[in-house]
Chain A
Amino acid sequence: MARAVTTQRKALNTALAWLVGLVIFFPILWTILTSFKTEAEAIANPPIILFFDWTLENYGVVQERSNYVRFLWNSVIIAGGSTLLGILIAIPAAWSMAFVPSRRTKDILLWMLSTKMLPAVGVLYPIYLLCIQLGVLDNRIALVVILMLINLPIIVWMLYTYFKEIPGEILEAARMDGAGLKEELLYVLTPMAVPGIASTILLNFILAWNEAFWTLNLTSVDAAPLTAFIASYSSPEGLFFAKLSAASTMAIAPILILGWFSQKQLVRGLTFGAVK
């Protein structure tokens, strides 16, 4: 039984929590606000918080100057492609591990995770070299494959924990009720697995979207996604705060929204089911 708390105490908690929450969120908020300012307002001293002339001008300039849409498109293809490819490969794997486990299933799962622990920098040159040799440096498909491989352990793992939660008795009940393998898949398993698959897709899309080692090192122009696009602002353009903010806002907005949907899965996915 949770104990009743006095209103006063609750108000205090609320105030404190909101304060801390806003402080932590402030850099994002500030970026979003600044993106609507003019460059002069952006560096005004003292800073203007809300009362400025809201303008969309920066968004236009960013798109015009750097062709933002192309980077966005690359990000979508790389993150989406690697996630979908990963899911397609992972579903049968997770499926068989969850429903027809063998003695080695556990070892295989742990080994898969261990590949995730491999430091990227340790294999940077071989991958780089292979990309050159195969002529796929700065190529979207190469990145789709690489990011898929990086996230495959997490995808398999998450799907496995979700599938594992489908109780065996349900499958037996379906068999007793006369469902064959096809009906079992169609009417019982798939509907029960869909939520898990959806959250896995969501989390891995986010991880792939934000990946910033391989995308920075293996792309230059053609395949560069938003991570690389933003990194290019570290040189002088970065001092144009309003434009930097507009570019940043556009890069993070889609993922912030998706992220809010995936909070719960986040814990599970990133701790490999060790914390639920």
Chain B
Amino acid sequence: MAPAVFLLLVWMLVPLCMTLWFSLRDYRPLRGGDLGFVGLENFVRFVSSSSFWPAVFTTMLIVGGVLLVSIIFGVLLAMLLDQPMWGQGVVRILVIAPFFVMPTVSALVWKNMFMDPTNGVFAHIWRAFGADPVVWLTDVPILSLIMIVSWQWLPFATLILLTAFQSLDSEQLEAAEMDGAGPLARFFFIALPHLSRAITIVILIQTIFLLAVFAEIFVTTGGAFGTRTLTYLIYQRVLESQNVGLGSAGGVYAIILANIVALFLMRIVGKNLDR
């Protein structure tokens, strides 16, 4: 056990301490390097910069939007896939496939082959109905990103919810039916509460991954058109404008935010360990 623990400890602590250290200094490698200790100034400046609140807002929209889409459609899809049908295995594979597509590929395929205003599939569809094609990534950039990222994460939500559905005791449903519950009541009073744990897990895990969404923005808009999330903002500060001190302060914020979510996730996982 020791080597694994040691490696992870180093992997976690060294960069973490460096980030903390940089966040307290005015450090710009391209403009004079390390200009000394500035206390908490970076933390204040990161939050008070004009791009901070829009970035927070964008992050919330994307994370919230993708969660909403993947949970609602995930539940519906899981219910559908749980029904008896022919070729269930194949349908399952079709639905899960997007999860295995690397983020850069899915971003690029969506951006060019679907959302391109002249030759994209959507443009063809819009024109077929006599409408003007939408210029997706400039006109509704956040919606576009939500679509792309949802497509990637819907399979994950569906798969987990389907697993949860399959563990629902059918006798429970039959008991409810005998007790006079209609299909809707059965869904809301039996199935949904049964799914609540799985839904919580999906929300927590996806939130952690969605907060870190990077490649999709990098490939599609490069952070333009108001699609700069917190993660992307920090990336730009650190690597593009090389203001390491400021970016590191942002990094510390991101770590704190992720830890808050992780705390809830850990509690669920930890409880599960005891059983």
Chain A interface (Cβ < 8 Å from any Cβ of B):
1-3, 5, 10, 13-14, 16-18, 20-22, 24-25, 27-28, 30-31, 34, 42-43, 45-47, 89-90, 92-93, 96-97, 106, 108-110, 112-115, 117-130, 149, 152-153, 156, 206, 209-210, 212-213, 216-217, 226-228, 230-231, 233-234, 238-239, 241, 244-245, 248, 251-252, 255-256, 258-260, 263, 266-267, 270-276
**For the complex, is B136 an interface residue (Cβ under 8 Å from A)?**
no
Q: Tell me whether B234 and A124 are in contact (CB under 8 A).
A: yes
Distance to closest chain B CB from A82 (angstroms) = 13
Given A210-B103, A259-B99, A267-B159, list of 13 further CB < 8 A pairs? Answer: A2-B84, A24-B155, A28-B98, A46-B124, A97-B1, A110-B270, A129-B18, A210-B100, A212-B104, A217-B235, A217-B239, A239-B112, A256-B101
Instruction: Give A272 to B269 CA distance when docked, in angstroms.
Output: 7
Verify if B205 is at the interface (C-beta below 8 Å from A).
Answer: yes
Is B47 at the interface (CB under 8 A from chain A)?
no
Chain A residues within an 8 Å CB radius of B118 = 43
Q: Which residue of A lies closest to B219 (CB)?
A: A234
How many chain B residues sit at the interface, stated as a range, is 35 or more
Nearest-neighbor residue (CB-CB) of A23 within chain B: B94
Please tell me which one of the listed residues A18, A206, A231, A241 contacts residue B218 in the complex, with CB atoms under 8 A apart: A231
Q: Mark B133-153, 1 if CB is under 8 A from A, else 0.
A: 000000000000000000100
CB distance B95 to A115 under 8 Å? no
- CB nearest neighbor in A for B256: A122
Task: Give the residues in chain A near B231, CB-CB below 8 Å.
Answer: 119, 121
Nearest chain A CB to B24 CB, angstrom units = 14
Answer whether A47 and B124 are a contact pair too, CB < 8 Å, given A126-B19, A274-B272: yes
Residues on A with C-beta less than 8 A from B83 are 5, 10, 13, 17
Residues A231 and B219 in contact in the complex (CB < 8 Å), given A14-B85, A245-B113: yes
Q: Which residues of B contact A238 (CB under 8 A)?
A: 108, 111-112
Most buried by B among A25, A127, A209: A25
Q: Is B254 an interface residue (CB 8 A)?
A: yes
Residues of B within 8 A of A125 (CB): 18-19, 22, 238-239, 244, 247-248, 251
Contact in complex: A252, B255 (CB < 8 Å): no
Q: Which residues of A contact B164 (CB under 8 A)?
A: 275
Q: Are A30 and B113 in contact (CB under 8 A)?
A: yes
Q: Note all chain B residues with C-beta closer than 8 A to A109.
A: 273
Q: Are A241 and B113 in contact (CB under 8 A)?
A: yes
Inter-chain contact A20/B77, CB cutoff 8 Å: yes
> Are A248 and B109 in contact, CB atoms less than 8 angstroms apart?
yes
A-B contact pairs, 10 of them (CB 8 A): A24-B97, A28-B101, A93-B5, A119-B231, A126-B22, A217-B239, A230-B219, A241-B112, A256-B97, A259-B96
Asked if A273 and B272 make an inter-chain contact with CB atoms under 8 angstroms apart, the answer reads yes
| A22 close to B254 (CB less than 8 A) | no
Judged by a CB distance under 8 angstroms, whether B182 is at the interface is: no
A256 to B97, CA, bound (A): 7
> Distance (Å) between the CB of A36 and the closest chain B CB?
14
Question: Are A212 and B102 in contact (CB-based, < 8 A)?
Answer: yes
- On chain B, the residues within 8 Å of A272 by CB distance are 269
Are B4 and A93 in contact, CB atoms less than 8 angstroms apart?
yes
Docked pose: A182 CA to B155 CA in angstroms? 43
User: Which one of B6-14, B38-46, B186-194 is at the interface?
Assistant: B6-14
CA distance A117 to B90 in the complex (A): 33
When A24-B151, A125-B238 are in contact, do A149 and B7 touch as well, CB less than 8 Å?
Answer: yes
Could you tell me if A152 and B105 are in contact, using CB atoms closer than 8 angstroms? no
- B102 & A210 in contact (Cβ 8 Å cutoff): yes
Is A230 touching B102 in the complex (CB atoms < 8 A)? yes
CB neighbours (8 Å) of B102 from chain A are: 209-210, 212, 226-227, 230, 251-252, 255
Query: Separation in Å of the A58 CB from the closest CB of chain B?
Result: 14
